[in-house]
Amino acid sequence: MAAGALSVATLTGLVAAPANAVTPTPTVTSKPTSKPTGKPTPSPTATPWPVGVALQARVAVNGAVLTLPATDGLRDRTTVRVLAASGGKVDLDAYRGKKVVHLAARIALRKVQQGWAKTITVDAADLTTGTWRLRTKRSDLPGVWAWGTTSVRVGSGAAVHVAVRPAATVLYPYRDGVLDAAVVRVTGQDETRTAVPVVGTVRIDAGRKHLTRTLSKAGAASLPVTALPLGPATLTTTVTGPTGKKAVRRTALTLAPTAVGSLRIARSSDTVQPVVDGLLDSVVLTTSGAASGGSPAKVSGTLTVSKGSTVAQRFVVKDGKQHAFTWNGRVKGVVVPGTWTATLALKGPQGVVRTRTAKLVVTKKHLPYAVREMFTIAAGNQQGLAVRNGFFYVGYDIGNGQSKIERYDGTGMPAGTLGPLPIEHVAELAYSTTTDRIYAANGGSSTPTMVYAIDPVWDPDAPPADPSTAITQRFDLTALGVNGMVAVDDVNKRLLVFSSTAKSSGYQVSSVTLTDTPVLDANGAPVLNDDGTPKVVPAGTVTATVPVSIDGVPQGIDLVGQQLWIYTSLKKVNHVAKYDLRSNALLTASAATASSDLYWGGEGEGMATVQATDTGDGLPAWIYVGAHDLMYKKNPLAPNHIGQLVPVTDND
């Protein structure tokens, strides 16, 4: 390698210079004539060594920075490890620009496992502030030298760069233990951007008051602000490092009131339809709030619903916890349409009242019908519903292809059980005044349609030992498909049987004879058999079928005047649709006007009617519907419900 080059190879295999080698002669001066470079150029008269003579100076790891003063124990010294391929003596010098400091002379190298070496200590006291390059050279071979692997920076120890870090610049003097003290940490660095310890004070000036604290050894302080006035404040930090002048830094603070930091008002709906029909009859307003800065201090106030100067209702909000308030959309019992404003006004221990508003639109819109809850009945998989002589007959699917019928009086008191019956699912029940029988359709999306005639009279204290004996007729209507439901048209002596050709499509309604029906000729005279007996169409005979379109899952069916009403369930709502009968034939395939959603109960189960000349509500029959509880899927033991369907008017 060339003389003067910095060796970066290991020392293995390197040898000393031969005895007849030419020794380069460098220029000797305490102030180098030119700025040293990473690889100095040897003298022109120097001859490169034929064999590499290695020399290297390694500055200790983490020792490239020294800090003055040199006697405080903070980075006062470092070490340089000199490595060589042969024994002898070395010198160590430090260079900063044209300035040279001789650090060590004629230091003897010692034999180590791999070559020769010596560790030399460099004291900060020997150097001044700045960046120094170290150079080692062979005392006995002046032309052999090398720069140190790393420059050494010497800092003055003065706090040239000061960082003031308050934990928060917005503080709250209200005494609650939350942000009511300024927690400050101060750090310093000298010119080398190396940390130096600082000592000094921090002071807060607020109005005419001030507060001062001395920094801890870790450079931290805590200043309680509970006695200081609200408003802008200044944090003044005055520190010194191990040497140097004082450094002053100023930081702006805000001393804020502990007021309402957050408040929220949530609406269950932005529209209220106070006419009672089960849909948006009222609105639930949910409030919450908290003091500013995360304070646990109490906030309280009011929630007011108003329009202009008219106040519909005012609620007291006692604290910031979540509270729910219900408004029925009325002013002293009267529906007043328009846009109303719900105003949440809260106040904390300090500061002004904060408000948050939400708009509510009140309208007189309503559904055609609503369901009035009558009573609850036994839990279980409720299905069909019929009414006879003031008693309610409720079908239950009890599993394993069996059902039962529970009987209740008009107040919901149990009045006897019939079952188990060999009827699968018992999807719908209907009562005929013509035959005094309850008709049950087995229903189910995978069960072929059957209709059973059942004697509705049994002793509640001594039901039949074999409940199946109560079944007096069976009509095999499996050709119609699945999803069977049944209603009775006593006027025309027929059953109206709902079914579908597929699991959830191909819906249809069929006319089925209720009793054995004489065949009449064009003049209305009975048609006779060959033996002279009247020719009849047997009960249970399908005489006509038409398709029908429905929304949702079929749940119930019954005749109201000359309209067939079909009760279905959609997602989160039940539904009733009307289908007009066409004379004594059948009905239209699409729903007539005034169909209605029913916001009541859970999944709908069964519909029943009682014909009447005056129901008091404009309907030709009393109409009843059943439903599971809203929590049925989560809690099958929840009671089921029976309700009455009633028209809704603007006065409700």
- DSSP class of residue 586 equals -
The arithmetic mean of pLDDT across residues 299-314, rounded, is 97
Task: Please check whether residue 539 is in contact with residue 515, taking contact to mean a CB–CB distance below 8 angstroms.
Answer: yes
pLDDT at 585: 44
d(CA 384, CA 397): 9
Give phi and psi for 44, each to the nearest 5: -60, -25
- DSSP class of residue 634 equals T
579-621 residue pLDDT tens: 876 544 444 444 555 578 899 999 999 999 998 766 667 777 8
The arithmetic mean of pLDDT across residues 242-252, rounded, is 94
Q: Which residue has 């062979």 as its token pair?
A: 138
d(CA 504, CA 551): 11
pLDDT at 268: 96
560 has a pLDDT exceeding 70: yes
Report the SS3 class of residue 154: strand
- In the sheet with 640-647, reading across from the earlier edge strand, the strands are 369-377, 640-647, 621-627, 604-611
Task: Please check whether residue 171 is in contact with residue 254, taking contact to mean a CB–CB distance below 8 angstroms.
Answer: yes
d(CA 547, CA 540): 19
374-405 residue pLDDT tens: 999 999 999 999 999 999 999 999 999 999 99
Mean pLDDT of all residues in the chain? 87
CA dihedral of 519, 525, 529, 530, whole degrees rounded to 10: -160
408-425 residue pLDDT tens: 999 999 999 999 999 999
Tell me the DSSP string of 345-370: EEE-SSS--EEEEEEEEE-----SEE
> What domains, with CATH codes, occur in the chain?
55-155 (2.60.40.770), 161-255 (2.60.40.1930), 260-362 (2.60.40.1930), 372-647 (2.115.10)
13 has a pLDDT exceeding 80: no
- 411-444 per-residue burial string, b: 16 or more CB within 10 A, e: under 16: ebeeebbbbbbebbbbbbbbbbeebebbbbbbbb
